Amino acid sequence: MIKQLAAALALSTLACTSAFAANLPDVPVPFKSGAGAMADGVIYIGLGTAGQDWYKLDTKEAAPAWQKIAAFPAPARDQAQAVALNGKIYVFGGCGKIEGDITSVSNEVFEYDPQNDTWTKVLTRSPIGLTGHTAVTADGKTALIVGSVNKEIFDGYFSDVDYATKAEDKALLDKINADYNGKLVKDYFFNKAVLQYDPENNLWITVGELPYVGTAGSAVAVNPQDQSVMVVNGERKPGLRTDTTVKFTVKDGHAKFEQTPDLIPLPNDKVQEGVAGAFSGYSAGTLIVIGGANFPGSTENYANGKNFAHNGCTKTWRDEIYTYANGTWNYAGDLKTPLGYGVSIQNGDELLLIGGETTGGQATTDVITVKVVDGKVVTE
């Protein structure tokens, strides 16, 4: 599906001309909550609503087309994360019915070898269970992993839900949901540690901790100019986002953090709720953050002592485009439709939005290319 949009940045008022590398075809299946990465100009996506299936798309071809590759060798899962390291694709974590009939968080790692079209389960475990995390690489050799829910609390909740559901006890189920959603932010123990995984040595280390709360579903992007990593928003507890952003760089196994401005409210809004599940990437030295979802009103509810902050609020999929450059956030227009929870791919100076879900959680097949051209954000 070809989409056209030109959203003016505060950077310039020059006229814009389209300059995309290629028009890319839609994903073969409705695709959300999956994983994806790019290696040597080839995009790899799978899991989520694709189940165990994986596909590749060679963007270097004159007429790129999706091709099915070897299926994932373990149970399907949502919210896994993939990153390309040393020419291979590594998949971290996810959640689903991985070891039985009850949803749980995975700490597994899988490696895909594009040369042989084969999957291997890596003999390692992440130090914590990973879902709601984001995986990126700044050096092409090691993965940096930001955020995640707490496995024990998350798994325990789904175990309790399974028990109440099988007992057909609605009152108990309502109490389980109220108890799970009614805690303070600090009592969910979302992951604050930034993890680094080195596949060559099969080694995990902690390079530092986010200087605020742990998050889930943050937008994370690597600046190709200086290899700094931006972390934008995310959940701080179920149904409640944060508007916080931070930048860090990693050197010799240690992260140096720099607090950056909070994401700005929309022009007619007093509060920025923050977003989870947004797309993010860089073009022309500018960070672009697009879409995601939140619960308008939840921030005010929580500030007023309502721990079940999103109770009575409506989940809202977002269409806003924000940019960050020279220390300043700007609102840069809207997508044609709201979109979140897809895969962000940095393709040279372009950002690719692969799949995702729109209002109501409906999975899409869209592939949207985003770029800053002559000081304006353009999508195709």
Catalytic residue list: 235
The CA-based angle 224-190-247, given to 5 degrees, is: 25
For residue 300, give Cα distances in angstroms to 149, 207, 314: 23, 34, 14
The C-alpha atoms of residue 253 and residue 251 are separated, in whole angstroms, by 5
DSSP state of 216: B
**DSSP class per residue in 147-208:** ----HHHHHHHHHHHHHHHHTT-HHHHHHHHHHHHSS-GGGG----EEEEEETTTTEEEEEE
Structure-token match 């939840």, residue found: 298
Helix axes 170-181, 151-166, angle to 10 degrees: 170
The C-alpha atoms of residue 22 and residue 369 are separated, in whole angstroms, by 9
